[in-house]
Homo-oligomer: A and B are copies of this chain.
Amino acid sequence: MSTEIIAIGGYEEVGKNMSAVKVGKDIVIFDMGIHLDRLHIHEDTYIEKMHSLDLIERGVIPDDTLMKDVDGKVKAIVFTHGHLDHIGAVAKLAHRYDAPLIATPYTMALIERTIKGERKFKFDNPLQVLNSGEKCQISPEITLEFVHTTHSIPQTVTPVLHTSEGVIVYSNDFKFDNHQTISPPPDYQRFRELGEKGVLAAIIDATRAAEPDQVKTHSEKIARIVLEDIMEQPLKEDDGIIITTFASHIERIQAICNIASKSNRQLLLLGRSMERYCSLAENMGLLKIPENASVYGSPKAINRALARANEKRSDFVLVTTGHQGEPDALLPRIANDKTLFEVQKGDNIIISAPIIPNPLNKANRNLMERRLKGKGARIFTNAHVSGHAGREDHRDFLRMLQPQHLIPSHGNLGMLTAYAELAEEEGYRLGHNIHLLRNGQAQVFNKEKK
List the B side residues contacting A414 at CB < 8 Å.
414, 417
Contact of A214 among B178, B214, B380, B429 (CB under 8 A): B380
Q: Is A441 an interface residue (CB 8 A)?
A: yes
In the complex where A417-B417, A441-B431 touch, is A213 in contact with B381 (Cβ < 8 A)? yes
Q: B-facing mask of A362-396, CB < 8 A → 1, else 0?
A: 11111100110110001111110000000010011
In the assembled complex, the Cα of A392 lies from the Cα of B381 at a distance in Å of: 10
Task: Please report which residues of chain A, range 403-424, place their CB below 8 angstroms from some CB of chain B when the two chains form the complex.
Answer: 413-414, 417, 420-421
If A214-B382, A359-B359, A417-B417 are given as contacts, then 13 extra A-B residue pairs at C-beta distance below 8 Å, sorted by A number, are: A43-B336, A214-B380, A216-B226, A222-B226, A359-B366, A362-B362, A363-B363, A380-B392, A413-B420, A414-B417, A431-B437, A431-B441, A436-B436
Residue among A40, A362, A373, A431 with the highest chain B CB neighbour number at 10 A: A431
List the B side residues contacting A395 at CB < 8 Å.
378
Distance (Å) between the CB of A274 and the closest chain B CB? 23
Contact of A359 among B221, B229, B363, B432 (CB under 8 A): B363
Distance (Å) between the CB of A218 and the closest chain B CB? 7
In the assembled complex, the Cα of A90 lies from the Cα of B425 at a distance in Å of: 29
Q: Which residue of B lies closest to A363 (CB)?
A: B363
Residue among A43, A214, A221 with the highest chain B CB neighbour number at 10 A: A214
Q: Is A233 an interface residue (CB 8 A)?
A: yes
Distance (Å) between the CB of A189 and the closest chain B CB? 13
List the B side residues contacting A436 at CB < 8 Å.
430-431, 436
Q: Which residue of B lies closest to A421 (CB)?
A: B413
List the B side residues contacting A374 at CB < 8 Å.
41
Q: Is A438 an interface residue (CB 8 A)?
A: yes
Task: Please report which residues of chain A, range 88-105, place their CB below 8 angstroms from some CB of chain B when the two chains form the complex.
Answer: none
Q: Which residue of B lies closest to A416 (CB)?
A: B417
Q: B-facing mask of A263-300, CB < 8 A → 1, else 0?
A: 00000000000000000000000000000000000000
Q: Which residue of B lies closest to A370 (CB)?
A: B41
List the B side residues contacting A367 at CB < 8 Å.
40-41, 359-360
Distance (Å) between the CB of A248 and the closest chain B CB? 24
Q: B-facing mask of A335-372, CB < 8 A → 1, else 0?
A: 01000000000000000000000111011111100110
Q: Which residue of B lies closest to A441 (CB)?
A: B431
Q: Is A444 an interface residue (CB 8 A)?
A: no
Q: Is A136 an interface residue (CB 8 A)?
A: no
Pairwise interchain contact B225-A221, C-beta atoms closer than 8 A: yes
Q: Is A230 an interface residue (CB 8 A)?
A: yes
Q: Is A67 an interface residue (CB 8 A)?
A: no
Task: Please report which residues of chain A, range 124-166, place their CB below 8 angstroms from some CB of chain B when the two chains form the complex.
Answer: none
| 9 closest Cβ pairs, A-B complex | A363-B363, A359-B366, A359-B363, A214-B381, A359-B362, A360-B363, A413-B417, A214-B379, A213-B382
Q: B-facing mask of A182-207, CB < 8 A → 1, else 0?
A: 00000000000000000000000000
List the B side residues contacting A363 at CB < 8 Å.
359-360, 362-364
Q: Is A215 an interface residue (CB 8 A)?
A: yes
Task: Please report which residues of chain A, range 42-75, place their CB below 8 angstroms from some CB of chain B when the two chains form the complex.
Answer: 43
Distance (Å) between the CB of A135 and the closest chain B CB? 27
In the assembled complex, the Cα of A367 lies from the Cα of B38 at a distance in Å of: 10
Q: B-facing mask of A159-179, CB < 8 A → 1, else 0?
A: 000000000000000000011
14 A-B pairs (CB sep. < 8 Å): A41-B374, A214-B382, A218-B226, A221-B225, A222-B222, A359-B359, A360-B363, A360-B366, A362-B363, A380-B392, A414-B414, A429-B438, A430-B436, A431-B437
Q: Is A258 an interface residue (CB 8 A)?
A: no
